[in-house]
Amino acid sequence: MTTGLIPGGQPPDPRPTGGLPHQRHEPVGRGALHVDNRPRSSVITARAAASFEPVGRSVATARSFVRDTLQGWGFADIVDDAVVLTSELVTNAVVHAGTSADVLCLRTDDGVRIEVADRYPEREIPLQGHPATMGSPDREGGRGLQLCAALAGRWGVEYTPTHKQVWFQLDFPERSVGTRTAGPSLPADLLPLADGRVRVAVVQIDRTSSITSWNEDAEELFGYPAEQVIGKPLTDLAAWPHTPGTSTGIAEALQLSRWEGSYGIRGANGRVTPVYASHLRVRDTGGEPSTVCLLVRDHERAVLQTPLRMPASDSASADGQSTDPFEVFIGSPAPDDLDGLLQRTVERARDMLDADSAFLLLATDDETELEVRASTGLPSARQRFARVPVEAGPGRYGSARMPAVHDDLAAVPGAVPLLSGTGMRSVVTVPLKVEGRLTGSLGVAAESPGRYSNEEALRLQFAADRIALAVESARLGELERLRRGSLSFLVEASDLLAGTLDRDQTLALMAQMTVPTLATWCAVYTIADQASEPYLSYVLHEDEELIDGIKSLLSKVPPPDPVPTPGARVWSAPGEVAHQAALRSSMRSLGLSGGPPHQIASGIGPTLATASAVGGETVVLPLVARNRVIGMLTLGKPTDEHFRQEILELAEDLSRRAALALDNARLYSERTAISQSLQRSLLPPELPEIDGVEVEVIYRAAGEGNEVGGDFYDLFPISDGAYGFAIGDVCGTGPNAAAVTGLARHALRLLAREGLSGPAVLERLNSAILDEGARSRFLTLLYGELRPQEDGSAELKVVCAGHPLPLRLRQDGTVEPAAEPQPLLGVLDDLELYEQTVTLDPGDVLLCVTDGVTERREGTRMLGDDGLTDVLTTCTGLTAGAVAARIMRAVERFASDAPSDDMAILAMRVPGLHKD
């Protein structure tokens, strides 16, 4: 559904400028048939339009649209007729015709016109010259037009080549001048029940709540003669509250300007008579206040009870202007947002009592504190969202629950904490209550004393009673939106914080999520350990030009104490230092420090800007993770601003999540550093340079953060110009495989330097692996000894224990295995291994790889030994480094996914006596 509202103006002519002429049926009035004479010249004061899809639920949506529109315009008297007619016409369009429907509501001075158009002009209406031919009421079609003829003042049908439009007009009913409210005529059995003679007790009490007047009906209802009760407090007779859930006491109710509700009166017979009462506070010609109480039996409450006000403007006066107190006070329409409603409220309250300022405070859920939400005419808005206690404590708001008039605040300092230091002298405050519950306080103040009396308090209380429900409804709506937004914010924050294990990035995320959503600026302090002082790690302001100034200022302020107590606590040090810095800068700018002003003028601007940025309320929230304070999150507002309690609660939730993320990042960084240090110890140091032999190694460990895995390599000198080399693969990857890697590499070096042959070295290594017991892993290993020869060749003695066979590339491009396969290590106790001798001629290359190279996969394809051989045949004439690089490039390009296994490539080339 799409809607639009355009106040005022003439509606556009819906007829097309070209095409076929209109076909029109224009009955007017109750079944009459004559040409349309509807007043096209009437001024259109409002227009609302909506479109509805051809689905069944659109009928109900269209009914709601018309009802809401007309009630919003204040036309409750014609809402029901309009809804019935719209329902029938929209049903014809979206259900029977199967097209979308366009509904247009037009408000004029004398009525409402509603047009319903569909896109099925071929479906002609069943009207052929007389309403009697429209069909029987039992027929499926035609009933909407029968209803138009029966209910509308005017109606008609218009056709275009693409649309059919049915319209009807409802005129406003005439009202008796001066009628405030009226109910419909009802059958006798639906009228309120009352006794044969309705008795209305009239009781008047003075300012001390003592009874001064007691009429005959009161005597009949409660059994007390007047002389027995006059002079006694009415509170002695009242059984309060008769209605459960009423928190206002009888003494408070009697002091209010107006009150209406139920309670009980103890009669002379000792029984409690439930009554419905209406209290009105008045004053006599001498200015003495008293309260008039009208009471009836509770089941006769209809005699006194104020009828519920309908959305229509039932209180319209003869000149057509609304006299509803809410609309007179707030204006129409009321603002949709809470802040707009509150601001308009204080402005109207100030104007109503010709005051110099006005303010409005809202109560917390437990009614223990009031929070400043709107003000006008005060020196500054520094108190916004500030809180004051209601009942007890320093600076309490002592008159929150009852109307109060202060002739001179100088005589009662602190009675209204908000006005301290503002120059206001006289003030009147009234409570905002909904169903007896305190929801806020409204006050107006003037600079001169003695400006207000009880009459002004009565007027302001009447206005407060009218707006209290609207304010509470808007507050609850704002609170619900804030809670939903908070949940969304925390979910997003948790996702972002969980997505990184980098400490610096976590700090940056904390600040960026805080500013400007929760605060104007923030600073994050971190604590390395319990013995360390808090360190200023990150600062962010919504204005980047102020960040350096805030860093400089906070560096001069001792950091907040790392208190683990949850919740936000105020930190006044930054504001005080900022104020002092601004004061010194101002004095220097005036030349009061003894130096010429021009020498320091360049530094005044940034100092004052920084002071203003951090001069407001500053709070600190501890960052607690694993029962340890690891830092503090500091939030700040600019000068004269306070934090809302809801924002602080949201910041506390964020701080708990951020603390855990920051501690996780710290632990990850520490463990990564330890792991990498240990892994680097498993890799061989720098490869030795071998005369007459080129050597190149490429190593890739699988897994993020791993430098060593299950694959390993080594090249080390043995003795007498001989070098040992090895390349192996431990079962598995990661740290567990790396542990066996370290065992194998160090054992190889130790055993080889003992002068043992290759088979003997591997047999002893096999025993060492088996000794690891449950931690042992099988190992494939290619081990050999390399001896360069004087003729430029190189002699190799090789043992291949279950490892992929080494490949020899000759100068003519042929590739052949350089060893035979033998059993792997770590499986059998007794191994019988042997070594093979290979001679590398000048230009030959020996390529050794792990199975991570040959088992590289892309779907069902695998590189394999044949694929590796094919790549190696293209490496003739290349250096060892170029050969290793080409092999690795071919492996990486073979599949699009990242490698899932460790890979090691060892290439050795004998260039000969004359290098290429």
3-state secondary structure of 119: coil
Decide if pLDDT at 233 tops 80: yes
Q: How many residues does the chain have?
A: 916
Number of neighbours of residue 739 by Cβ within 10 angstroms: 18
Calpha distance 497→412 (Å, rounded): 52
- Residue 620, H or E segment: strand 618-625
Rounded to 5 degrees, what are φ and ψ at 327?
-70, -35
Calpha distance 621→610 (Å, rounded): 22
Decide if pLDDT at 592 tops 70: no
3-state secondary structure of 825: strand
Q: What is the pLDDT of residue 38?
A: 45
- CA–chain centroid gap for 724, Å, is 65
Calpha distance 800→805 (Å, rounded): 7
Lowest mean pLDDT among 190-199, 329-338, 709-718: 329-338
Q: What is the pLDDT of residue 175?
A: 55
Q: Are strands 779-788 and 404-406 parallel, antiparallel or unpaired?
A: unpaired
Calpha distance 407→427 (Å, rounded): 7
Decide if pLDDT at 732 tops 90: no
Question: Average pLDDT for residues 187-203, to the nearest whole number?
Answer: 84
Which residues on neighbouring strands pair with residue 446, listed in sequence order? 426
Lowest mean pLDDT among 80-94, 197-211, 484-498: 484-498
User: Which position has the token pair 């990850």?
Assistant: 668
Calpha distance 85→103 (Å, rounded): 12
3-state secondary structure of 724: strand
The angle, 0 to 180 degrees and rounded to 10, between the axes of the packed helices 734-752 and 758-770 is: 140
Decide if pLDDT at 4 tops 60: no
- The residues, any chain, with a CB within 8 Å of residue 887's CB and separated by 6 or more, are 698, 847, 849, 853, 868, 871, 872, 875, 905, 907
User: In the chain, how long is the greatest CA-to-CA distance?
Assistant: 141
Handedness of CA 410, 411, 413, 417 (dihedral sign): negative
Q: Quick one: DSSP state of residue 375?
A: E
| Residue 806 structure tokens | 């080494």
Calpha distance 292→204 (Å, rounded): 5
- CA–chain centroid gap for 621, Å, is 20
Q: What is the pLDDT of residues 673-713, one digit of tens each?
A: 777 676 667 677 778 889 889 999 998 877 665 556 678 88
| Residue 528 structure tokens | 């390395």
- Averaged pLDDT score across all residues of the chain: 78
Calpha distance 464→443 (Å, rounded): 10
Question: Average pLDDT for residues 215-229, to the nearest whole number?
Answer: 93
Q: Quick one: DSSP state of residue 133?
A: G
- 11 pLDDT band, cuts 50/70/90, is very low
Burial of 117 (0-12, 13-18, 19+ CB in 10 A): buried
Q: What is the pLDDT of residue 836?
A: 93
User: Of 400, 359, 389, which Cα lies nearest the Cα of 248?
Assistant: 400
Calpha distance 854→568 (Å, rounded): 60
Higher pLDDT, 196 or 587: 196
Q: Quick one: DSSP state of residue 298?
A: G
Higher pLDDT, 181 or 601: 181
Query: How far is the CA of 244 from the CAs of 261, 264, 297, in angstroms?
Result: 11, 12, 17
User: Of 231, 228, 206, which Cα lies nearest the Cα of 218?
Assistant: 228
Q: What is the pLDDT of residue 604?
A: 39
Question: Average pLDDT for residues 480-487, to the nearest whole number?
Answer: 77
- 309 pLDDT band, cuts 50/70/90, is very low
**What type of residue sits at position 7?**
P
Which residues on neighbouring strands pair with residue 406, listed in sequence order? 427
Q: What is the pLDDT of residue 479?
A: 79
Calpha distance 797→810 (Å, rounded): 18
Q: Quick one: DSSP state of residue 134?
A: G
Q: What is the pLDDT of residue 244?
A: 39
Higher pLDDT, 190 or 569: 569
Question: Under a CB-based contact definition with an 8 Å cutoff, are residues 202 and 221 in contact?
Answer: no
- 26 pLDDT band, cuts 50/70/90, is very low
Q: What is the pLDDT of residue 227?
A: 93
Higher pLDDT, 797 or 417: 797
Decide if pLDDT at 633 tops 70: yes
Rounded to 5 degrees, what are φ and ψ at 347?
-70, -40
Number of neighbours of residue 125 by Cβ within 10 angstroms: 16
Decide if pLDDT at 805 tops 70: yes
